[in-house]
Amino acid sequence: MGMHHLLGDIAALPWHLARRAFSSRPRHDVSVADDSFWALKDISFDLHRGETLGVIGSNGAGKSVLFKILAQITPPTRGTAILRGRVGAMLEVTAGFHEELTGRENIFLSGAILGMTQRSISSRIDQIVEYAGVEDAMDTPVKRYSSGMSARLGFSVAVHLNAEIMLIDEVLAVGDAAFRAKCLETMRSLAASGRSIIFVSHELDMLERLCDRAILIDRGVLLEDGDPRDLANRHRALSKNDSEACSSIPQADHSST
């Protein structure tokens, strides 16, 4: 079976078969031991149409796990994620691309997962490629792309296909300054048009400028939901306290007698 035939079959699938939403099936809590480690615990928040929500937290806070649950990659052990709309997720530099497929084939595959037809995807190809600036590499396997090329194409796919909810996790860190500025302006325009965005970045200044609202997560627990600037400042204070606590730990004496 040829690749284009395979992609055509996938594109013909209805949305509920191409990608099952958590809200379409009952969720039964899994029995776990009381002393189990929880990557996330008792997280609950809403996202409104046209809203850009920032997720703030240190490494290991649970941000990536949260995004994988929202992207329906990892089911929650307990609870439910209800997503009313198609989700476009960019959770890593490779944007979830299949590395053996070309850039062009990955665009069609991404659109098929979102329930789009080949005709609808084809009508957006030129826009996607021009925005990403990867015209000369569209028929090259993405395993040969640089991290910047993958990120540019992944972001372009996410914003030009029919995703109503966008998940963007730290991927803009690899792009050049001009493309990052372009991405930020695009995200503002998308939010103004009614799309909802959940955005993670360690660059708090960027997050403060872009987001309408933020949540602060620490060790898997949602500490606060509110103004991005207030939460960014609280995160800075928490990080400073953690750093000072680590520096005050006495060094072990390994000298021998």
In tens, the pLDDT along 37-89 reads: 778 888 889 999 999 999 999 988 889 889 888 888 888 888 888 888 888 87
- Cite the beta strand spans of the chain per DSSP E: 52-56, 87-90, 165-169, 196-200, 213-218, 221-226
pLDDT by residue (tens digit) across 202-215? 889 989 989 999 99
Chain mean pLDDT for the chain: 80
Point out which residues pair with 177 in neighbouring strands.
none
CATH number belonging to domain 47-85+164-245: 3.40.50.300
- Integer Cα distance of 52 and 198 in angstroms: 6
What does pTM read for this prediction?
0.74
Between 95 and 30, the more confident residue is 95
251 vs 182, residue with greater confidence: 182
More confident residue, 100 or 21: 100
The string of pLDDT tens digits covering residues 120-161 is 999 999 999 999 999 999 999 999 999 888 888 988 888 888
| CB under 8 A, 24+ apart: contacts of 58-65 | 58/218, 58/235, 58/238, 58/239, 58/242, 60/219, 61/217, 61/218, 61/219, 61/220, 62/217, 62/219, 62/220, 63/169, 63/200, 63/217, 64/91, 64/169, 65/39, 65/40, 65/220
Q: How far is CA 233 from CA 222, 240, 246, in A?
A: 16, 11, 20
